[in-house]
């Protein structure tokens, strides 16, 4: 099949249209009222970052509540937010809009390295399919506009993949290895699981250059060295402050998720196996859901080939063998969340969606190029298909916006504003899942679940993660009021434990005054 038709300006035109439409819908979300954003699009964790950036910019330090230092965040995104919230000052709503604007821009720009990766690995058609899938996949928008580190992480991940496949298909210079190690380091700083990508790349070189081990070792050492240089300041700070390079957020989540594990070994094993088998089907379902555009693409191509009686359509799987280094990151990420952390959040799937986008785009392009239906290669057809995709994309996003991604967070921002307008703003409050309320209340709100509080995790490791220990820790932190998100069921406590003095009822929850 002659692919010269695919090497004209059409590819760039389609990507530009996709970027404009994709960026427009992302910016539309970014500038919606913050009280709507806080439950229709943003995760509660996003407001941990926003409050953290405020404190970093004002010189308070790496802390969410202004009291306890923490390393429970991914540093690259946090650092990018600092100048935004310094500029916004007391206008916290403007800060949220500008932060989400950054997310929208970074997510849209990511289409370019995805296009280049597809072009280097397969063809401009593969690059175009990959870029448009990223830009016009509604779930990519949902996953990135949560306001957490997703967009920055996916962008760094895509650039690292692109630089590596380009280096592998061109002159393999030492300078190119440096250019692989630097974005790989940024990927790790964007999200710690990015280390699995570097591991996959190094393993790929060890396999490809297995007959020239010196070359493979040199690549591993150099790429690892420059990745380490990028990560070293963060690792040193974390070790100096907390005695460990590991982020406390993962430890906190594991404390939460393993709190119900029985003490008996047999019962604990049965409990663990039950949890794993509960997570795996949901994990697979979400992978299919978040990659639905690719599923539909393959269904369309295969269905059309069947209807036109071209039933001998075959895919040359070797065309995507250059992405084999992504197998290890996929397996490690899947194992970590389903076998170790026992936890799933929407944004945990970002790297997986990108991996499937890259591989699926090359497979889809291969199917089109091998098909006898040359209509796929006609400019008019491609433009009509892109227009339909853009229209469907906008419609789906609007429908999902109406439903809201986090309906349980509705009114949390309003509660924070209500607290900020009362004398309670001068009290020390505490809560679990308190990113949104803690950001909008303009007060000291101690993070009690430990995700952004290293001191809390240290306490729970000794006393366990349960209601009594949460309340005891709150008392040790001199918390005057606790906000009940609705997850707890307070029972009468022993006289020597924390006592509830009174309850203050709000629409989004209850504040308990304790002593």
Say if residues 413 and 93 touch (Cβ distance below 8 Å): no
For residues 46-59, average pLDDT: 97
Tokens standing for residue 368: 């089109």
Residue with the bigger pLDDT between 494 and 139: it is 139
Examine the pLDDT at 495 and tell me if it is beyond 50.
no
Examine the pLDDT at 2 and tell me if it is beyond 50.
no
Q: What pLDDT does residue 491 have?
A: 47
d(CA 405, CA 43): 8
Examine the pLDDT at 490 and tell me if it is beyond 60.
no
User: What angle is formed at CA 179 by the lines to CA 250 and CA 146, rounded to 5 degrees?
Assistant: 35
For residues 174-189, average pLDDT: 93
For residues 135-139, average pLDDT: 91
Q: What pLDDT does residue 309 have?
A: 56
For residues 161-182, average pLDDT: 90
Band (296; pLDDT cuts 50, 70, 90): confident
User: What angle is formed at CA 172 by the lines to CA 168 and CA 174, rounded to 5 degrees?
Assistant: 130
Examine the pLDDT at 252 and tell me if it is beyond 60.
yes
Residue whose C-alpha is closest to residue 84's, from 113, 104, 108, 114: 104
Query: pLDDT (tens digit, 9 = 90+) per residue, 82-121?
Result: 999 999 999 999 999 999 999 999 999 999 999 999 999 9
Q: Which of 29-43, 360-374, 390-404 has the lowest mean pLDDT?
A: 360-374
3-state secondary structure string across 334-376: HHHHHHHHCCCCHHHHHHHHHHHHHHHHHHHHHHHHHCCCHHH
Residue with the bigger pLDDT between 487 and 222: it is 222
For residues 178-190, average pLDDT: 96
Band (44; pLDDT cuts 50, 70, 90): very high
Say if residues 102 and 80 touch (Cβ distance below 8 Å): yes
CB environment 417-437: b (16+ within 10 A), e (fewer)? bbbeeeebbebbbbbbbbbbb
Q: What pLDDT does residue 346 have?
A: 86
Neighbours of 342 (CB within 10 A): 18
For residues 349-378, average pLDDT: 79
Examine the pLDDT at 378 and tell me if it is beyond 60.
no
Examine the pLDDT at 339 and tell me if it is beyond 90.
yes
Residue 92 Cα to chain centre, angstroms? 23
d(CA 140, CA 293): 11
Band (307; pLDDT cuts 50, 70, 90): low
Examine the pLDDT at 371 and tell me if it is beyond 80.
no
DSSP symbols for 172-234: --HHHHHHHHHHHHHHHHH-GGGHHHHHHHHHHHHHHTTTSHHHHHHHHHHHHHHHHHHHHHH
Phi, psi of 273 (to 5 degrees): -60, -40
Segment of 121-130, 262-271, 415-424, 499-508 carrying the highest mean pLDDT: 262-271
Which distant-in-sequence residues (6+ apart) come within 8 Å of 72 by Cβ? 48, 247, 248, 249, 252, 450, 451, 452, 453, 454
Residue with the bigger pLDDT between 490 and 459: it is 459
Examine the pLDDT at 357 and tell me if it is beyond 70.
yes
> By three-state DSSP, how is residue 14 classified?
helix
Band (159; pLDDT cuts 50, 70, 90): very high
Q: What is the mean pLDDT of the chain?
A: 88
Q: Which of 53-62, 287-296, 420-429, 471-480 has the lowest mean pLDDT?
A: 287-296
DSSP state of 261: -
Residue with the bigger pLDDT between 310 and 469: it is 469
For residues 357-382, average pLDDT: 72
Q: Which of 118-132, 250-264, 415-429, 484-498 has the lowest mean pLDDT?
A: 484-498
Examine the pLDDT at 278 and tell me if it is beyond 90.
yes
Band (372; pLDDT cuts 50, 70, 90): low
Q: What pLDDT does residue 5 have?
A: 43
Query: pLDDT (tens digit, 9 = 90+) per residue, 213-228?
Result: 889 999 999 999 999 9
For residues 322-332, average pLDDT: 94
Q: What pLDDT does residue 6 have?
A: 46
DSSP state of 74: -
d(CA 515, CA 513): 7
Band (390; pLDDT cuts 50, 70, 90): confident
Q: What pLDDT does residue 175 have?
A: 85
Say if residues 72 and 454 touch (Cβ distance below 8 Å): yes
Q: What pLDDT does residue 468 have?
A: 84
Residue whose C-alpha is closest to residue 416's, from 444, 436, 446, 445: 436
Examine the pLDDT at 408 and tell me if it is beyond 70.
yes
d(CA 503, CA 490): 12
For residues 421-443, average pLDDT: 91
Examine the pLDDT at 473 and tell me if it is beyond 50.
yes
């Amino acid at each position: 099949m002659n692919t010269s038709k695919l090497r004209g300006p059409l590819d760039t035109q389609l990507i530009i249209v996709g970027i404009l439409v994709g960026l427009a819908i992302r910016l539309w979300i970014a500038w919606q009222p913050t009280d709507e954003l806080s439950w229709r699009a943003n995760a509660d964790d996003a407001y941990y970052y926003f409050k953290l950036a405020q404190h970093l910019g004002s010189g308070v330090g790496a802390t969410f509540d202004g009291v306890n230092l923490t390393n429970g965040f991914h540093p690259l995104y946090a650092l990018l937010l600092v100048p935004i919230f310094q500029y916004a000052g007391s206008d916290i709503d403007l800060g949220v809009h500008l932060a989400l604007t950054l997310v929208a821009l970074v997510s849209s720009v990511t289409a370019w390295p995805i296009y280049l990766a597809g072009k280097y690995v397969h063809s401009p058609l593969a690059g175009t399919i990959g870029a448009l899938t990223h830009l016009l996949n509604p779930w990519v928008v949902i996953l990135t506009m949560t306001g957490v580190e997703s967009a920055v992480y996916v962008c760094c991940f895509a650039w690292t993949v692109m630089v590596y496949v380009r280096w592998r298909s061109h002159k393999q210079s030492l300078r190119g290895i440096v250019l692989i190690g630097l974005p790989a380091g940024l990927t790790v700083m964007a999200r710690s699981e990015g280390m699995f990508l570097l591991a996959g790349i190094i393993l790929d070189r060890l396999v490809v250059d297995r007959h020239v081990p010196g070359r493979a070792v040199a690549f591993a050492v150099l790429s690892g060295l420059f990745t380490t240089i990028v990560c070293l300041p963060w690792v040193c700070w974390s070790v100096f402050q907390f005695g460990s390079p590991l982020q406390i957020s993962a430890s906190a989540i594991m404390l939460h998720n393993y709190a119900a594990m029985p003490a008996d070994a047999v019962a604990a094993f049965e409990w663990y196996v039950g949890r794993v088998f509960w997570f795996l089907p949901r994990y697979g379902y979400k992978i299919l859901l978040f990659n639905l555009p690719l599923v539909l693409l393959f269904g369309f191509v295969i269905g059309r080939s069947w209807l036109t009686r071209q039933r001998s359509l075959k895919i040359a799987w070797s065309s995507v063998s250059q992405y084999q280094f992504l197998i290890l990151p996929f397996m490690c990420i899947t194992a970590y969340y389903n076998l170790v952390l026992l936890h799933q959040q929407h944004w945990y799937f970002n790297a997986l969606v990108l991996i499937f986008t890259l591989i699926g785009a090359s497979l889809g392009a291969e199917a089109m190029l091998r098909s006898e239906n040359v209509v796929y290669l006609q400019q008019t057809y491609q433009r009509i298909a892109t227009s339909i995709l853009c229209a469907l994309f906008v419609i789906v996003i609007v429908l999902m916006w109406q439903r809201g991604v986090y309906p349980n967070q509705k009114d949390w921002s309003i509660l924070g504003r209500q607290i900020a307008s009362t004398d309670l703003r001068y009290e020390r409050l505490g809560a679990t899942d308190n990113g949104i309320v803690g950001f909008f209340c303009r007060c000291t709100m101690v993070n009690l679940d430990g995700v952004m509080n290293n001191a809390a995790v240290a306490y729970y490791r000794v006393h366990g993660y349960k209601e009594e220990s949460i309340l005891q820790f709150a008392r040790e932190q001199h918390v005057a009021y606790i906000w009940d998100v609705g997850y707890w069921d307070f029972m009468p406590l022993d006289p020597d434990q924390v006592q509830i003095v009174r309850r203050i009822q709000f629409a989004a929850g209850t504040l308990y005054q304790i002593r």
